[in-house]
Amino acid sequence: MANGDYEDLNWYRSRLDKYRLVVCADGGANWARRLGIIPDLIIGDMDSIKSEERSFMEENKTQLKTFSPEKDFTDTYLAMEEIAKRGIKNFAVWGGTGGRLDHTLTNLFSAAFFTKQGIQIQFQSPTVTIHLIKENMLLKGTVGDTVSVLALERAKGVSLIGFKYPLEDVTLELDKPIGLSNIIAEPNALICVDTGVLAVFHNHIQLP
């Protein structure tokens, strides 16, 4: 849980039973408290967590792992790194987007590092799910859903099957983002990639 935008909190409450470990990146703990979550671990420089929330978490035996504010990596990166060290191969990031654009981009590029290690990561929110992939993925969605496929590094052998605008064995570059605002044309659309990391934005609202 990061300290970005959360939108509809009830959306997250309906998914609380899907996870066996909760790690908060600093101020993500403020959101955890609002959702009634007692995390297993809070990690970061602790400059964003409210003092009352920190006291509450400490009283409830939540582990805190504190870093100096003068560090190279963001609190969200440190949280993802901690999860990877525990051998977890599939996790979701809440609150990892929205707010400051530089934070959102940093979170996505940080996650790409772990994706290349074989870890499956999703950025989840009520309006969009962002899948990070380095291999083929079957995207389960509804016909008409808007999907954007962007490269986080040069991606070769990219094909989009079951979309309104298909692609076949193309190379996606960071400075030529041709995968924006595609449309699912079949219920189970296929995204293929040979090398590189893709960010697949699956929007859950109808876009104009």
CB 110 within 8 A of CB 76: yes
- The pLDDT, as a whole number, for residue 208 is 52
Quick check: 25 pLDDT over 60? yes
Outline which parts of the chain fall under CATH 3.40.50.10240: 9-123
Give pLDDT tens digits for 9-20.
Answer: 999 999 988 889
- The pLDDT, as a whole number, for residue 46 is 92
Structure tokens at 29: 């703990």
Quick check: 37 pLDDT over 60? yes
- Quote the pTM value: 0.93
Residue 205: pLDDT band by 50, 70, 90 thresholds?
confident
Outline which parts of the chain fall under CATH 2.60.120.320: 133-203
For 9-123, which CATH superfamily applies?
A: Thiamin pyrophosphokinase, catalytic domain (3.40.50.10240)
Helices (H), the chain: 9-13, 28-34, 51-59, 75-85, 101-115
Strands 128-133 and 137-140 turn out to be unpaired
CATH of domain 133-203: 2.60.120.320
Give pLDDT tens digits for 104-126.
Answer: 999 999 999 999 999 999 999 99
Give pLDDT tens digits for 54-101.
Answer: 999 999 999 999 998 888 899 999 999 999 999 999 999 999 998 789
Structure tokens at 159: 């094909």
Give pLDDT tens digits for 134-162.
Answer: 999 999 899 999 999 999 999 999 999 99
Q: How far is it, in rounded angstroms, from Cα 3 to Cα 114? A: 20
Quick check: 207 pLDDT over 70? no
* End-to-end CA separation in angstroms for the chain: 30
What residues are paired with 113 via a beta bridge?
Answer: none
Task: Give the mean model confidence (pLDDT) for residues 3-10.
Answer: 92
User: Which stretch of 45-59, 69-83, 194-208 has the lowest confidence by average pLDDT?
Assistant: 194-208
